[in-house]
């Protein structure tokens, strides 16, 4: 029993000694700060200093570095980590410094973690280490400037080149539509091609506004044709019928009256594509020419018949010849004079042939040219208020031009610099491991550069309105 108690006391003593030595070993060295953190760019040398306090005598103090590993599996090798201590032997309560140098040459971007060990003859201290590495700022700035340049090129194309290309595309599409429409009337085709020639001339003179205006006119003519294709075909056929009627009729055609009618038919053909009148209006003009031809033929045949009947009356024939001359020189659109001529001709007819009994009202003959020829009134344009001229000079123009250029450079330059600094600060400065995600980081910076130019263009565009 007595031996048992002795063994228990001996065991307790051994345990106490082991616990005491372990406590002394763990508490022999303390570090401030307790963790080493560093951040830099590839190629730099980073130095961090740690203060070590000894709570017991230390001998043979030295530092050991381990590889630092990133989440991507890359490493900062231990040979590129240098540890220097200010002393190797210290007494209890003494303070010393440990300087750790990280050589980041050829180290990829990323967050690296590991441990640094301080060992002595009777103690071991482990310090957690975190090193964040990113690409140099020059690469980030180059990508940002590339994005700005790309945005500038895109803006220049959109503002300067794209309108030119849009006109070329629209003109080419319109030419293709003309080529693929065999039913297109020659009058419409000629007008569209004429407008397209004007478009080419305006483009050669770099007058995009004029070219766009001419192209819109050509497109309007094409739309006018597509919308009323059937009506235009019917009217073209009607014009040919009227021309053939003039050519085949047994009446003089080399007169001012007929020449005017023929010119009116040409004008109707020419004006149809121009959009000044709707198809119904053009049809009304053609109907009026048809009536003018019918009146001309009827009056001429009546005069010719009366000349034959009055061949023994020189006085009557002279009067009939005068009416014939008036007919040949009459304006076809002057329905009132045609009606008057018809009345005078009817009066002369009574001198050749005795008048017949007056017929009933229901049998009254149709009077050629009756009820037409209402002359429109004259529309007077209102008097526009006069505007006092603004005094100008070359000096004032130069000052105004200088102010405008200065405002453009100031606003654009300020916005570019401001947004570029914000982008570098947000995407590069606040990202300690910029470049670790190569494509994501640089693509984001490139997109920011594009956005800078888009924002500048939008803001300065609003200011210019």
Q: Where are the alpha helices (DSSP H) in 388-437?
A: 394-423
Q: Is the pLDDT of residue 366 over 60?
A: no
- Do 296 and 249 form a contact (C-beta atoms < 8 A)? no
Percent of the chain with pLDDT over 90: 21
**Per-residue pLDDT tens digits for 74-113:** 999 999 999 998 888 888 888 889 999 999 988 999 999 9
In three-state form (DSSP H/G/I as H, E/B as E, the rest C), the secondary structure along 285-329 is HHHHHHHHHHHHHHHHHHHHHHHHHCCCCHHHHHHHHHHHHHHHH
Residue at 120 is within a domain: yes
- From residue 211, give the alpha-carbon distance in Å to each of 162, 166, 179, 305: 14, 11, 21, 60
Domain that holds residue 297: 229-354
Do 129 and 237 lie in one domain? The reply is no
Do 240 and 343 lie in one domain? The reply is yes
Residue at 8 is within a domain: no
Which tokens sit at 19?
């616990």
Last residue within a domain, chosen from 85, 117, 134:
134
Q: What is the CA radius of gyration of the chain?
A: 52
Residue at 240 is within a domain: yes
Last residue within a domain, chosen from 331, 354, 377:
354
**Per-residue pLDDT tens digits for 10-23:** 666 555 544 444 44
> In the prediction, which pLDDT does 122 show?
79
Instruction: Give the three-class secondary structure for 436.
Output: coil
Residue at 93 is within a domain: yes
Residue at 112 is within a domain: yes
Residue at 80 is within a domain: yes
Considering only CA atoms, which of 324, 326, 331 is closest in space to residue 257?
Answer: 331
Adjacent-strand bridge partners of 83: 100
Do 245 and 350 lie in one domain? The reply is yes
Whole-angstrom distance, CA of residue 4 vs CA of residue 9:
9
> In the prediction, which pLDDT does 154 show?
84
> In the prediction, which pLDDT does 26 show?
47
- From residue 103, give the alpha-carbon distance in Å to each of 36, 64, 80, 100, 111: 15, 16, 5, 10, 15
Instruction: Give the three-class secondary structure for 353.
Output: coil
Do 130 and 235 lie in one domain? The reply is no
Whole-angstrom distance, CA of residue 222 vs CA of residue 225:
5
Instruction: Give the three-class secondary structure for 446.
Output: helix
Residue at 218 is within a domain: no
Q: Is the model more confident about 279 or about 366? A: 279
Whole-angstrom distance, CA of residue 406 vs CA of residue 184:
54
Residue at 38 is within a domain: yes
Which tokens sit at 376?
């429109």
CATH label of the domain that carries residue 125: 2.60.40.10
Q: Could you tell me the pTM of the whole model?
A: 0.57
Last residue within a domain, chosen from 354, 375, 403:
354
To the nearest 10 degrees (0 to 180), the angle between helices 162-179 and 208-227 is: 30
The region of weakest confidence among 181-185, 414-418, 438-442 is: 414-418
Mean pLDDT of 231-255: 85
**Per-residue pLDDT tens digits for 344-363:** 888 878 877 554 555 554 44
Which tokens sit at 326?
């008036």
Number of domains into which the chain is organized: 2
């Amino acid at each position: 029993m007595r031996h048992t108690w002795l063994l228990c006391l001996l065991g307790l003593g051994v345990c106490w000694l082991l616990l005491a030595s372990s406590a002394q070993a763990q508490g022999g060295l303390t570090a401030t700060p307790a963790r080493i953190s560093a951040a830099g760019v590839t190629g730099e040398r980073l130095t961090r200093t740690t203060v070590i306090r000894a709570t017991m005598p230390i001998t043979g103090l030295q530092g050991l570095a381990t590889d630092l590993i990133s989440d991507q599996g890359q490493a900062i090798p231990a040979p590129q980590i240098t540890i220097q201590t200010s002393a190797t032997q210290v007494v209890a309560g003494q303070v010393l410094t440990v300087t750790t140098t990280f050589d980041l040459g050829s180290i990829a971007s990323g967050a690296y973690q590991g441990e640094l060990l301080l060992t002595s003859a009777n103690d071991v201290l482990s310090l957690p280490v975190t090193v964040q590495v990113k690409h140099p700022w020059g690469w980030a700035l180059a990508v940002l400037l590339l994005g700005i340049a790309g945005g500038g090129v895109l803006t220049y194309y959109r503002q300067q080149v794209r309108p030119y290309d849009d006109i070329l595309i629209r003109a080419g599409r319109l030419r293709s539509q003309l080529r693929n429409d065999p039913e297109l009337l020659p009058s419409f085709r000629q007008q569209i091609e004429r407008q397209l020639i004007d478009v080419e001339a305006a483009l050669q003179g770099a007058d995009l506004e004029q070219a766009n205006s001419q192209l819109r006119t050509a497109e309007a003519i094409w739309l006018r044709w597509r919308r009323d294709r059937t009506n235009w075909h019917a009217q073209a056929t009607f014009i040919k019928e009227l021309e053939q009627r003039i050519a085949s009729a047994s009446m003089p055609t080399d007169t001012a009256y007929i020449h005017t009618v023929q010119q009116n038919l040409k004008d109707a053909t020419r004006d149809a594509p121009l959009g000044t009148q709707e198809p119904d209006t053009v049809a009304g003009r053609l109907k009026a020419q048809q009536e003018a031809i019918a009146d001309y033929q009827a009056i001429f045949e009546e005069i010719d018949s009366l000349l034959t009947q009055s061949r023994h009356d020189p006085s009557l024939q002279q009067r009939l010849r005068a009416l014939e001359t008036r007919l040949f020189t009459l304006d076809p659109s002057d329905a009132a004079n045609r009606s008057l001529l018809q009345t005078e001709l009817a009066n002369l007819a009574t001198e050749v042939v005795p008048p017949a009994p007056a017929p009933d009202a229901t049998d009254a003959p149709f009077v050629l040219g009756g009820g037409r020829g209402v002359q429109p009134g004259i529309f007077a344009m209102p008097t526009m208020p006069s505007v006092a001229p603004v005094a100008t000079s070359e000096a004032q123009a130069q000052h105004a031009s200088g102010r405008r250029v200065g405002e453009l450079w100031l606003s654009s330059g300020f916005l570019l610099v401001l947004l570029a600094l914000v982008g570098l600060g947000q995407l590069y400065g606040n990202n300690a491991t910029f470049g670790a995600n190569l494509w994501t980081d640089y693509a984001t910076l490139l997109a920011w550069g594009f956005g800078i130019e888009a924002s500048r263009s939008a803001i300065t565009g609003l200011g210019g309105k």
